[in-house]
């Protein structure tokens, strides 16, 4: 499928999206990556972020994902997310609430390992808040 890619976004609750796309941008653990037709097979962990799906007409839609995996193969992109929803259903207030929860977890952490894990989570949510600002209010 050189001219497109099949994409499915699945959460534990529902199939969020099943579509044909021109490209899919995925928030991989090492950074965002763009997947198009004939992409090399790869599996990556997902960090909290936005999956952007561009259809064959050039229209884009975004979906929030919070962790999980993306499996990229000849069959397309399968995103198995811990949480997934349209970006329009996830905004600044949601991220700010998660920042507050992550800060509380960091404040309560005792061991160095727990502190490091909590700090990583807090940093991830703060970065996502910055990302929301750059993506614009209309997308989220």
Per-residue pLDDT reduced to its tens digit, 65-118: 998 999 999 889 999 999 999 988 888 898 899 999 999 999 999 999 999 999
Gyration radius from the chain CA atoms:
16
137 has pLDDT over 50: no
Cβ neighbours of 50 (radius 10 Å): 20
**Is residue 96 within 8 Å of residue 129, measured between CB atoms?**
yes
Is 5-87 assigned to CATH 2.60.15.10? Answer: yes
User: What is residue 115's predicted lDDT score, i.e. its pLDDT?
Assistant: 93
User: What is residue 53's predicted lDDT score, i.e. its pLDDT?
Assistant: 96
Which structure tokens are listed for 18? 């099943």
Query: Is residue 2 classed as helix, strand or coil in its secondary structure?
Result: coil
């Amino acid at each position: 499928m050189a001219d497109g890619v099949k994409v499915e976004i699945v959460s534990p609750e529902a199939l969020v999206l099943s579509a044909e796309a021109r490209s899919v941008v995925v928030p991989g653990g090492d950074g965002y990556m763009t997947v198009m037709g004939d992409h090399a097979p790869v599996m990556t962990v997902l960090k909290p972020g936005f999956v952007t799906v561009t259809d064959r007409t050039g229209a884009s839609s975004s979906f929030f994902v919070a962790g999980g995996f993306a499996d990229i193969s000849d069959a397309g992109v399968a995103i198995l997310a811990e949480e997934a929803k349209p970006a329009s259903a996830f905004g600044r207030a949601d991220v700010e609430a998660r920042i507050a929860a992550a800060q509380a977890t960091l404040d309560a952490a005792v061991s160095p390992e727990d502190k490091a894990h909590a700090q990583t989570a807090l940093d991830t949510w703060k970065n996502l808040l910055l990302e929301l600002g750059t993506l614009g209010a209309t997308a989220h």
